[in-house]
Chain A
Amino acid sequence: MTLCGTCRNINAISDARCSRCYSKIQPRNEQSLQQSWALLITAAILLIPANIYPITMLTNQGKVTYDTIFTGIVHLVHSDMIPIAIIVFTASILVPWLKIAGLAIYLTAISFNLPISKKKLMVGFHIIEWIGRWSMLDLFVIALTVAVVNMGQLLDAKPAPAATAFALVILLTQLAAKVLDTRLLWDRLEKNNDTN
């Protein structure tokens, strides 16, 4: 018995196609681990330019200032907008880092059969899947700001190179979580026969 990856219908392992949605039946996707690693490593590399290069450029009365993700948050703190600063910090810094670190731990555990509680890993994985989307927040804010603030030398906002890097980090980490067949974790660690 095996589960159809697309519609979750139950099929016999010998079936070639799902009886309900006609998708190909793939009991386990062994390649998914490698694909997930590749996507994750690329994302981790891109996270560096996303954080050190400026993400927006603001012209205010002829004076140009560049903001990185971090300095943008520092501005918010200085303007006494602590709740907004916390939201932006969570979405733009905490979530991407946590996601990459979490996925790395997860993939390492599968690849090297680490003795970590599978239940905890799985809970972590679901959290990563769920919070991942929130890092889109900064991109939305940049797009709105750039569109509304365009008054030449007096006041003008433009995106800066880190915006593309950041967008790619979000895309790649979401894909890395998506391609991974989580059942691999349970198969591999089955042999250790821990009861967690």
Chain B
Amino acid sequence: MPKSLDQDTIILCRSCDLAVQRRALPSNVRALCPRCHTALYDVPYCSVNGMLALCIAAILFYIPANFLPVLEIHFLGSIRATTVYESAVAVWVQGYWIVAVAVIAAAVIAPGLLILSILLQIIIVKRRLHSDFWQQTYRRLLKNHGLLSQLSMLEIYVISFLVAAFNLSDFSDIYLGMGTFCFGMLFLVILFLQREYNLEHMWRMVHEE
């Protein structure tokens, strides 16, 4: 397929379609569209090995974060604890399945798929899997990356532990569980992973024959 010559020097703003000349940038600086101020590009600091390490760390925190108790209530001698997963099930059981689906999608499924998607992308790039099947998979993963990262709302969930704990402190003693710690760590690891990850850079690694 013929590649147009100006592909690497001219870019179009995704919000307003203005053509902008690409210039070299110092690190940590983002280029904004001169017309509408949408972020255009920044220096890709995509390190594949760094991302791999963060991915593995994220997977290690993901499981305890979802299945260890995050909130514990001590009330008249009895103790109740809940995990992220159980909290969504509890709302579902009450008949509020739209709420349950929103919670599960934003706190459990989307972050999980995001980690797996990045991991698979790294494997494809690192092992140079150039066959049609793997390249198709790679394209599909990149296409859905934006959606997955928009659906992952770990930072909001971390704040909601605190809000729920303060809300309930009126009625009883509340303790944040081990799951909360793992969830907080998961949030931090994914935060760094997403800073390291650069979609534009990953697109440039598509193998073209």
A residues contacting B by CB (< 8 A) are: 1-3, 5-10, 12, 19-23, 60, 76, 79, 81, 84, 87-88, 91, 118-119, 122-123, 125-126, 133-134, 136-137, 139-151, 154-155, 158-159, 163-164, 167-168, 170-171, 182-183, 185-187
Contact = CB atoms under 8 A, between A and B. Distances in A.
Given A140-B164, A148-B164, A186-B17, 7 more contacts: A1-B12, A119-B37, A122-B16, A146-B90, A151-B78, A167-B99, A187-B17
B86 A147 contact: yes
A79 B170 contact: yes
Given A2-B12, A7-B143, A133-B153, A164 B167 contact: no
B204 to A, nearest CB: 9
Interface of B: 1, 3-4, 6-7, 10-12, 14-19, 35-38, 70-73, 75-76, 78, 80-82, 86-91, 94, 96, 98-100, 102-103, 106-107, 139, 142-143, 150, 153, 156-157, 159-164, 166-168, 170-172, 200, 203, 206, 208
Q: Which interface residue of A22, A76, A118, A141 has the most chain B CB atoms within 10 A?
A: A141
A110 B157 CA distance: 35
A139 B103 contact: yes
Q: Which 4 A-B residue pairs are closest in the complex by CB-CB distance?
A: A140-B160, A147-B90, A147-B82, A147-B87
16 contacts: A7-B142, A7-B203, A8-B11, A21-B142, A76-B166, A88-B163, A126-B37, A145-B164, A146-B91, A148-B71, A151-B78, A155-B171, A163-B91, A164-B96, A167-B102, A186-B16
Contacts of B106: 136, 140
B143 A185 contact: no
